[in-house]
Amino acid sequence: MRVVVAPDKFKGSLTAAQVAARVAAGLARAVPGVEVVQVPVADGGDGTLEAALSAGYRRVPVRAEGPTGEPVDTAYAERDGVAVIELADVSGLRRLPGGRLDARAASSYGTGQVIRAALDAGCRRIVLGIGGSACTDGGAGLVQALGGRLADAGGAEVGRGGAALAAVRSLDLSGRHRALAEAEVVVASDVDNPLLGPRGAAAVYGPQKGASPADVAELDASLARWADAVNRATGTDAAGTPGAGAAGGVGFAALAVLGARLQPGIDLVLDLVRFREALPGARLVICGEGSLDAQTLHGKAPAGVAAAARAAGVPVVAVAGRSLLAPAELESAGILAAYALTDLEPDLTRCMTEAGPLLERLAERVASDWVTDDARR
């Protein structure tokens, strides 16, 4: 008997790998001898790097520039010439010193440095997860790190961050990393925002990164100047493309300068970790995340896992810190039942601090309902 455990992280409590391990421990205690295949997943944002490493990719350390210029120790995951890079781990909100938001100055330069390191090492397929960014620089920093030169009207090089783009007048790509010409770049993204305007990178995501209303207007105007410079340099007008506004506009630079294609995050991660290969012969799939809610139904990891399992004819249940979805909503996502830590412990603080032991107990309930001999009868 085999059960596939494919959860996302419980944010603030457990990583996806820790969730999978706790569920596996509870299942094994309830059903000795059960085969549990652990496949931690992510939706293309935080946790993408860890999911690749858990699936057997090799960790390659890189020292790069954090979102506001400080050095950070990050890594990419590599297997068979494929590099998996998580923007959040180098240019993300969690890399801001002291958590201080800086929407105007934060840059994606470090992410470009990690891509450069992977290209230098011979990787020719770059998979970039871009959720959780701290920047609103249109991916300009990333382009600079890969050899692009941004200049102002006097020919001087433009500095880092979205606000600095107010001065950009030209982009010179003659120094662009040569390996980009033969590399395939795939970006994991689930947003459809354009780069500019009321649904653009600055307006929608800038406030989450500390931008005031005045900052939003300034950043949107700066991004428009950047888009004009990119258009003149590449002949590509990608500012209005759905997804160009992802990660503060990193989606735009990836599309227009790197020739990337966008793919839904969970679909891309499921391919990377070879999730579908674990499904034949499985009796049950257990997905999960910290909070099952309305966002779950729109491209989040549990919905993607459930869709893939359902296509293979394997039933799916979910574990979560809490579930705010009605049974009909779960069913629409292909999830037959949800088991929440709050079913065992109504105190949300204790659910956070004691998530591991509670999750093991929850897994025993799942086993009793779906895996034991009584459940099979």
pLDDT digits (tens, 9 = 90+) for 98-110: 999 999 999 999 9
pLDDT tens readout for residues 221-256: 999 999 999 999 999 999 999 999 999 999 999 999
- pLDDT tens digits along 138-171: 999 999 999 999 999 999 999 999 999 999 999 9
Q: Which residues, 6 or more positions from 363, have their beta carbon under 8 angstroms from its beta carbon?
A: 22, 23, 24, 25, 26, 27, 30, 286, 319
pLDDT band at 373 (very low <50, low <70, confident <90, very high): low
End-to-end CA distance of the chain: 14
Please give the single-letter amino acid code of residue 136. T
User: Could you identify the residue written with the tokens 């520039």?
Assistant: 65
Q: Place 115 in a pLDDT band, splitting at 50, 70 and 90.
A: very high
Instruction: Supply 139's token pair.
Output: 């991916």
Confidence band of 77 (pLDDT split at 50, 70, 90): very high
* Residue 125: closest CA among 85, 88, 91: 85
Q: Which two tokens stand for residue 22?
A: 């706790």
As a whole number, mean pLDDT of residues 176-200 equals 95
In angstroms and rounded to an integer, the radius of gyration of the C-alpha atoms of the chain is: 22
Name the nearest CA neighbour of 246 among 259, 234, 231, 263: 263
Q: CA 331, 335, 341: angle at the middle one, nearest 5? A: 115
Q: What is the predicted pLDDT for the residue at 110?
A: 98
| E-state strands within 66-222 | 71-79, 82-86, 125-129, 149-151, 170-172, 184-188
Of the candidates 111, 15, 1, 94, which has an alpha carbon nearest to the alpha carbon of residue 54? 15
Q: What is the mean pLDDT of residues 292-320?
A: 94
- Name all domains of the chain by residue range, CATH numbers in brackets: 2-41+278-376 (3.40.50.10350), 48-265 (3.90.1510.10)
199 phi and psi, to 5 degrees? -110, 15
- Specify the length of the chain in residues: 377
Q: Report d(CA 36, CA 46) in Å as an integer.
A: 25
**Segment (H or E) for 285:** strand 284-292
pLDDT, one tens digit per residue, over 20-68 is 999 999 999 999 999 999 999 999 888 999 999 999 999 999 999 999 9
The answer to whether 239 touches 227, Cβ cutoff 8 Å, is: yes
Euclidean distance between CA atoms 228 and 355, whole angstroms: 49
> Which DSSP string do the residues of 205-257 spell out, in sequence order?
ITGGGT--HHHHHHHHHHHHHHHHHHHHHHS---TTSTTTTGGGGHHHHHHHT
Provide the mean pLDDT of the chain: 95
Residue-level pLDDT at 376:
56
Question: How many whole angstroms separate alpha carbon 29 and alpha carbon 157?
Answer: 62
Per-residue pLDDT at 266 exceeds 60: yes
